[in-house]
Amino acid sequence: MKIAPKGEQARNNTALPKALTLIEALPWLERFHGKTVVIKFGGNAMVDESLKAAFAQDVVFLRYAGLHPVVVHGGGPQINTQLGKLGLESSFTNGLRVTTPETMDVVRMVLAGQVQRELVGLLNEHGPFAVGMTGEDAHTMTAVKRYAVVDGEQVDIGLVGDIVNIEAGAVKALIGDGRIPVISSIARGTDGHVYNINADTAASALAVALGAEMLVVLTDVEGLYADWPNSDDVISQLGTTELEELLPTLASGMLPKMEGCLNAVRSGVGTARVLDGRVQHSLLLEIFTDEGIGTMVVPDDDTTVLGGLA
Ligand SMILES: Nc1ncnc2c1ncn2[C@@H]1O[C@H](COP(=O)(O)OP(=O)(O)O)[C@@H](O)[C@H]1O
Ligand SMILES: CC(=O)N[C@@H](CCC(=O)OP(=O)(O)O)C(=O)O
């Protein structure tokens, strides 16, 4: 027999807000159970160890909550660091890294050998969930050479690829087996080359191929700023036509990110969200609470979507 200690009743009262927080998640659990969510974890959001660990907790939480998370990771700053150590120059055109064969070796080494391994390790602290792969594996991503366009002129940016085909079978098999795929944005070319793919573009293409419910992009800003860098007003929600009109005004890494969101939603993904990955547990806040944060892209005919409940 166990007698309740004095004050138990009072403790029960303090427990109620916790129960209410949990129950707040119920509509979203009902809505997203069994659905695939592609999460892009940007290199700029991986700023410290506690944030990476919290990200891993959130992803495993999604898995236990009955969603099917798939992680596509970036690593731009990590690639820059390694290139710097090797004394190699690097530049970006239209938000894409100009990629020589020598640069490509470093990109592949850092993404598949360092960043991906670290995320797999953090996720697997919670159980045998994460399996790392690159787009090269099982023909998951096939690319052709991509050119940048500057002032209307086509510019050669080396081994940067455009995804032309996704074979989602290997990723679906992992999901079916209860695993969490962690994918590096590198693709095989049919011409014998290996291509560097912007991780936002890769996440978007994969979300479409998997028929995902949601694409979530974690980055190092609060969302899409309406008038960056002059103001920090964040656009909380916008339709695809509005986004298409904004695209020419976007700079640097935000361009492939928002192009990816536009492509995903136009191709059937329910919503695409850009969140501040520097905020701990932003992923859980966005998916399971009323407090929609960041920017959400919705289909044009669906302007009634509020908060996280799509
Ligand atoms: N309209 C905008 N709103 C927000 N950020 C913008 C905008 N235009 C350009 N940016 C820049 O895009 C960056 C995010 O892209 P990027 O550096 O590639 O991040 P990640 O590594 O997460 O992919 C922001 O830090 C900001 O400097
Ligand atoms: C073609 C291209 O630019 N590829 C990117 C791939 C990594 C990436 O996209 O990382 P973030 O998401 O952290 O920016 C690069 O080489 O930096």
For ligand 2, the distance from its centroid to the CA atom of residue 5, given in whole angstroms, is 57
The answer to whether residues 260 and 272 touch, using CB atoms and an 8 Å cutoff, is: yes
In whole angstroms, what is the distance from residue 196 CA to residue 263 CA? 19
Atom of ligand 2 nearest to the CA of 43: 13
pLDDT, tens only, 246-273 = 998 888 789 899 999 999 999 999 999 9
The answer to whether residues 112 and 185 touch, using CB atoms and an 8 Å cutoff, is: no
State the pTM of this model.
0.93
The residue contributing the CA closest to ligand 2 atom 10 is 74
Cβ atoms within 10 A of the Cβ of 35, count?
Answer: 15
CATH number for the region 32-298 comes to: 3.40.1160.10
Task: Give Dmax (Cα) for the chain.
Answer: 81
Cis peptide before 181 (omega within 30 of 0): no
The residue contributing the CA closest to ligand 1 atom 6 is 254
> Could you tell me if the CB of 79 is within 6 A of ligand 2?
yes
Q: Compute the half-sphere exposure of residue 125: CA atoms within 13 Å on the CB side of its CA.
A: 14
pLDDT, tens only, 51-109 = 999 999 999 999 999 999 999 999 999 999 999 999 999 999 988 999 999 999 999 99
The residue contributing the CA closest to ligand 2 atom 15 is 76
Q: How far is CA 287 from the centre of its chain?
A: 13
**Extended strands (E) in the chain:** 36-41, 68-73, 92-93, 96-97, 130-134, 141-150, 153-166, 180-184, 186-189, 194-196, 214-219, 237-239, 271-276, 295-298
pLDDT for the residue 92: 93
Supply angle C-alpha 237, 291, 203, rounded to 5. 55
Domain boundaries of the chain, sorted by first residue: 32-298
- Asked whether residue 291 carries a pLDDT value surpassing 90, the answer given is no
pLDDT, tens only, 123-172 = 999 999 999 999 999 999 999 999 999 999 999 999 999 999 999 999 99
The pair of structure tokens assigned to 172 is 């679906």
Sign of the C-alpha dihedral, residues 75, 80, 83, 89?
A: positive
Q: How far is CA 48 from the centre of its chain?
A: 17
The answer to whether residues 123 and 56 touch, using CB atoms and an 8 Å cutoff, is: yes
For ligand 2, the distance from its centroid to the CA atom of residue 142, given in whole angstroms, is 17
pLDDT for the residue 161: 98
Which residue in this structure is represented by tokens 């080494």? 109
